[in-house]
Amino acid sequence: MITFLGVYKYYDSVPVLQSVSFKIEKGELIFITGPSGAGKTTLLKLIFGSEKPDEGEIKVGDFELSRIRQSEIPHLRRIVTFVFQDFKLRHDLTVYDNVALPLIVMGQKERDIKQKVYDTLKNVSLRHKADMLVRTLSGGEQQRVAIARAVITNPRVILADEPTGNLDPDTSKDVINLFKSVNALGCTVVIATHNPELFKNTGFRVLYLKDGKIIQ
């Protein structure tokens, strides 16, 4: 589903990713880990097409990201969604409206949207908060809204950046279980985290980045 081949990324001529090569199979759940500044977020942004590689090749599905045109990016975003570290939710809107947004942008019918939003909110145990403003929710609840918004379009790949960043261990477990259930439905899931507790003894594959290189 995702292939990196000899990828280099520089910021202000400083290498941030160096000769990065790996493959992520369709339907895999994989963790990207490593210390702060290792390049985890940069790697996710490259998969999302919001940054471009300076050297090497990146394939995501049928898209060749080193050569992708700006006009193709919306097509890429149909299959790849991003759960941002700071969620990027609309705090002045309700939970319902936040989760509905991607479907509205896609021009789906109101009745279909309603059905999908309520189903998805049920899956993240937030059906009862649909009409609350996002800014009144706890951190863990906002995280789940962000996940609901990312999965509602049935993407083939979900990228999550530190999805358990500020959550307590129990809530973190719930969030990882959510990703597992999305993954069980066939979605490829890539989770960047510096917290080894999330993947210890899980059996999931882990890519370890240090100073922009994959060392394990």
Ligand X SMILES: Nc1ncnc2c1ncn2[C@@H]1O[C@H](COP(=O)(O)OP(=O)(O)OP(=O)(O)O)[C@@H](O)[C@H]1O
- Write down the least CB distance from residue 180 to ligand X, Å: 22
Which residues contact ligand X by CB under 6 A?
11-12, 16, 34, 36-42, 194
Query: Which listed residue (41, 98, 188, 193) binds Mg ion by CB under 5 A?
Result: 41
120 binds Mg ion (CB under 5 A): no
Distance of CA 114 to the CA centre of its chain: 24
- Write down the least CB distance from residue 21 to ligand X, Å: 17
Spell out the residues 6+ positions from residue 35 whose beta carbon is closer than 8 angstroms to its own. Answer: 194, 210
Q: Cα–Cα distance between 114 and 117 in angstroms, integer?
A: 5
Which residue number has the CB closest to Mg ion? 41
CB 214 within 8 Å of CB 32: no
User: Of 32 and 151, which CB lies nearer to ligand X in the complex structure?
Assistant: 32
CB 43 within 8 Å of CB 161: no
> Which of ligand X, Mg ion, none has residue 216 at its interface (CB below 5 to 8 Å by kind)?
none
User: Of 41 and 81, which CB lies nearer to Mg ion in the complex structure?
Assistant: 41
- Write down the least CB distance from residue 1 to ligand X, Å: 21
- Write down the least CB distance from residue 163 to ligand X, Å: 12
User: Of 58 and 100, which CB lies nearer to ligand X in the complex structure?
Assistant: 58
> Which of Mg ion, ligand X, none has residue 49 at its interface (CB below 5 to 8 Å by kind)?
none
User: Of 84 and 118, which CB lies nearer to Mg ion in the complex structure?
Assistant: 84
Find, among 84, 196, 189, 91, the residue nearest to 133 by Cα: 91
Strand, helix or coil at 61? coil
DSSP 139-178: HHHHHHHHHHHHHTT--SEEEEESTTTT--HHHHHHHHHH
User: Of 56 and 102, which CB lies nearer to ligand X in the complex structure?
Assistant: 56
> Which of Mg ion, ligand X, none has residue 36 at its interface (CB below 5 to 8 Å by kind)?
ligand X
Radius of gyration of the chain (CA): 17
Sheet order of strands, 188-192 included: 80-83, 157-161, 188-192, 29-33, 205-210, 213-214
Q: Which parts of the chain fold into alpha helices (H)?
A: 40-48, 73-79, 95-105, 110-123, 139-151, 169-184
User: Of 81 and 120, which CB lies nearer to Mg ion in the complex structure?
Assistant: 81
- Write down the least CB distance from residue 157 to ligand X, Å: 18
- Write down the least CB distance from residue 24 to ligand X, Å: 17
Interface contacts to Mg ion, rule CB under 5 A? 40-41
